[in-house]
Chain A
């Protein structure tokens, strides 16, 4: 299956949900879909096209919250990044961990660092931040401000 075939099939199958396909370079494709279509698209890429789920990266932008799900199709040396745009104030999307076990941890990480809610995740508890970290403070958001006034920030000299 070639790169063009992959794009054609995805386009046919999910025509209603695709917002934009950016053909960045021979090895990179950025595919934007509606947020409710994420799980079907990911299932199709992982199940039928045999792509490997690489990781998901959440980005906080001034207008919206974005998640990019990166899939690698090794046979044709293609990295497909599926972009979903979420509402910035209450970002919420269905979990992918039911379909792909490997997505479990990254959803926990995005939940605590960006405040994204993953509906249906079996165990959305903290992964990286300490237990003493306050609730509702998400470090990777653009409006994050230092909350710990007791932290020492000088050279010590």
Chain B
């Protein structure tokens, strides 16, 4: 047998002498690179519930369910971990300064029960039409829009009432005073259809 070449021997010896290249996972946990694209996580305080992430997701890994009951409503935002491809489109599309949903570095996502563990949810409060009861948008989303429109928010009672409520100004008195003028519907928080009806009909 011909003797192996010296350079290969050098590599073999150094491989023997050094510790193994592989880490002793799982005894030594693996910490991912800070730039690693891992599991997206909602931030309930930052998220406004606009559903932009759901629209841009290439694989439909984000969904939602609107639950309306007894005069109030909540929007359940769902992220399906087993469908997600960790592309970051949701974070890039998030209107709340890319903070409503962010990619963490979590990579250890295996689960046993698909029916309960394969998705994560948060809930946001919904604003409903005071006239017909349909869903307008999430309360935080209306506030977000009103904040950014500045003085133009006062063109729509839905928007400015949301803004004033966020500032803690609106209370029953203001609304009650307006109600007596007979044009009370126009001062309500309305969905687009009801608002059109309230503005255009003369009755």
Interface of chain A: mostly helix, strand, loop or mixed: loop
Q: Which chain B residues border A155 with CB–CB below 8 Å?
A: 80, 83
- In terms of DSSP, what is the predominant structure of the interface of chain B? mixed
Question: Does B144 reach chain A (CB closer than 8 Å)?
Answer: no
The distance from the CB of A148 to the nearest CB of chain B, in whole angstroms, is 20
Which range contains the number of B residues in contact with the other chain? Answer: under 10
In the complex, which residue of chain B has the Cβ closest to the Cβ of A156?
B114
B119 at the interface (CB under 8 A from A): yes
Measured CB to CB, the closest approach of chain A to B194, in angstroms, equals 35
**Interface residue count on the A side (C-beta < 8 Å):** 3
A128 within 8 A of B: no
Q: How far is the CB of A156 from chain B (nearest CB, A)?
A: 6
| Chain A residue at minimum C-beta to C-beta distance from B116 | A157
Contacts of B119 in A (CB 8 A): 157
| Closest CB in chain A relative to B120 CB, distance in Å | 12
- Measured in the bound complex, the distance between the Cα atoms of B61 and A155 in whole Å is 10
User: Which B113-148 residues sit within 8 Å CB-CB of chain A?
Assistant: 114-115, 118-119
Contacts of A156 in B (CB 8 A): 114
A155 to B84, CA, bound (A): 12
Residues from 33 to 89 in B contacting A, C-beta threshold 8 Å: 80, 83
Q: How far is the CB of A99 from chain B (nearest CB, A)?
A: 40
Q: Tell me how far the C-beta of B109 lies from the nearest C-beta in chain A, rounded to whole angstroms.
A: 15
Rounded to whole Å, the gap between the CB of B116 and the closest CB of chain A is: 9
**What distance in Å separates the Cβ of A128 from its nearest Cβ neighbour in chain B?**
23
Q: Which residues of A contact B83 (CB under 8 A)?
A: 155
B78 shortest CB reach to chain A, Å:
9
Q: Mark B137-172, 1 if CB is under 8 A from A, else 0.
A: 000000000000000000000000000000000000
Instruction: Report A-chain residues with C-beta under 8 Å of the C-beta of B115.
Output: 157
Known: A157-B114, A157-B115, A157-B118. 5 other contacts (CB 8 A): A155-B80, A155-B83, A156-B114, A157-B80, A157-B119
- Chain B residues with a Cβ under 8 A of chain A: 80, 83, 114-115, 118-119
Selected A-B contacts with CB under 8 Å, 8 pairs: A155-B80, A155-B83, A156-B114, A157-B80, A157-B114, A157-B115, A157-B118, A157-B119
